[in-house]
Amino acid sequence: MGQAVYAALAVVIAVGVFIAYFWGANWLLDRMLATPQGTPNERAMQRDRRRTQIRPWLFIGPALLFLTVYLVYPVFETARLSLFGRFGDEWVGFDNYVWLFGDETFWQATVNNLGWLLIVPTLCVAFGLVIAVLADRVWWGTIAKSLIFMPMAISFVGASVIWRFVYTFRPEGVDQIGILNALVVALGFEPQAWLQIDYLNSFLLMVILIWIQTGFAMVILAAALRGIPEETIEAARIDGASERQIFFSIMIPQIMSTIIVVWTTITIIVLKVFDIVFAMTNGEWGTQVLANYMYRWTFISGDTGRGSAIAIIIMIAVLPVMWWNIRRMRQQEGPG
């Protein structure tokens, strides 16, 4: 109970502090640079201008502070730490990177991450597109979409428990309680300890993320499909295009830019994937990924140098998407 009060109090105080800041700073500005009756015209205008110059920074100040402390400064600090030893006090130059590039697990994690990058966004977009097209054609499409969208609300950890249950293994001869092994046994094969099978286990972890993210792809792509003008499709139909041709030659090209957006968004999520691997295998049996490897070096082994070097590798992998996002945004906004 005490904790609930504490949390409630925190909300009130935090919100109060920020409101007080915004209101107070604003009031102070008006007060300090007031233009009472009778102020010489030139002076009044000058003060007006000064107020207009300062006010935006009052509004945006707290946000800038947060962004600087929690995102901008850390990028530079992590880059610096990656050039220092395990306690961050001894300059080692590029030793951490040299070690990294000679480290077997790092390459395993990199190769796995590449696998995730190729497979997860592709299958999410493919499934999302198929479901969006199908759901628009049946009366229960809304319910179907809702159900497929639902995993988006579930945490990676919760999803991991759900899927570990799907993959559970019981020795041969005993009833299987995991649905995957039950299917396999019903088809006449031997049950498997899925999470310990090389390569396949990584894919089974990817399935979890695909399960979560397909709903996202579906929602965005469904909206884009609705944006295609009916006339375009009708014209193609009159010209004798088959349904398959309409889908591949008209619909897909029309929503290509949206597909790329979905693709890149999921790419970023994939690069940062941590919870699923942490909960399912913790990188055992050849399933390591960069984010989990970074966590292990930084917080289990306590080596901030090597951990930071791995973080920098993830950051470098993100950069092309960042650049592309910015370029796209600038094109949309146009000049000014």
Partner 1 sequence: MGAPAIEMAAPKPLAAAPRAPRISLGRIGVHLALFVLVALWTLPTIGLLVSSVRDADQLAVSGWWTALSAADVQEAARLPTAADQIEENGAFVLRGNLLEEDSGKTIATFGTTNATLAENQAGDAIEMRDGGFITVNADGTFEWISQTPFEHERGPRIYYVAELQPRFTIENYEEVIESNGMDRAFLNSLTLAIPATIIPIVVAAFAAYALAWMRFPGRTFLVVVIVGLLVVPLQMSLVPVLQLYNQIADAFGVEAKGYMGTWLAHTGFGLPLAIFLLRNYMVGLPKEIMESARMDGASHFKTFTTMVLPLSFPALASIAIFQFLWIWNDLLVALVFLGSQDDQTVLTKQLISLLGSYGDSWHLLTAGAFISIVVPLIVFFSLQRYFVRGLLAGSVK
Rounded to a whole number of angstroms, the minimum distance from the CB of residue 169 to partner 1 is: 10
- Scanning 40-48, 102-110, 195-203, 243-251 for contacts with partner 1 by CB under 8 A, the matching segment is 243-251
Rounded to a whole number of angstroms, the minimum distance from the CB of residue 49 to partner 1 is: 12
Phi, psi (deg, nearest 5) at residue 335: -65, 145
**145: nearest Cα among 208, 226, 205, 204:** 226
Residue 141 near partner 1 by CB under 8 A = yes
Residue of 28, 72, 98, 118 interacting with partner 1 (CB under 8 A): 72
Name the token pair of 172. 């041969």
- Scanning 38-46, 101-109, 159-167, 192-200 for contacts with partner 1 by CB under 8 A, the matching segment is 159-167
In angstroms, how far is the first alpha carbon of the chain from the final one?
Answer: 52
CA distance 128 to 76: 37
Contact string 183-222 vs partner 1 (x = CB under 8 A): ----------------------------x--x-x--xx-x
Residue 279 near partner 1 by CB under 8 A = yes
Q: In the window 32-51, what residues touch partner 1 (CB under 8 A)?
A: none
In Å, what is the CA distance from 6 to each residue of 9, 16, 19, 172? 5, 15, 20, 53
CA distance 239 to 328: 34
Cα radius of gyration rounded to whole Å, the chain: 27
Size of the site for partner 1 (CB under 8 A): 131
Residue of 45, 126, 228, 252 interacting with partner 1 (CB under 8 A): 228
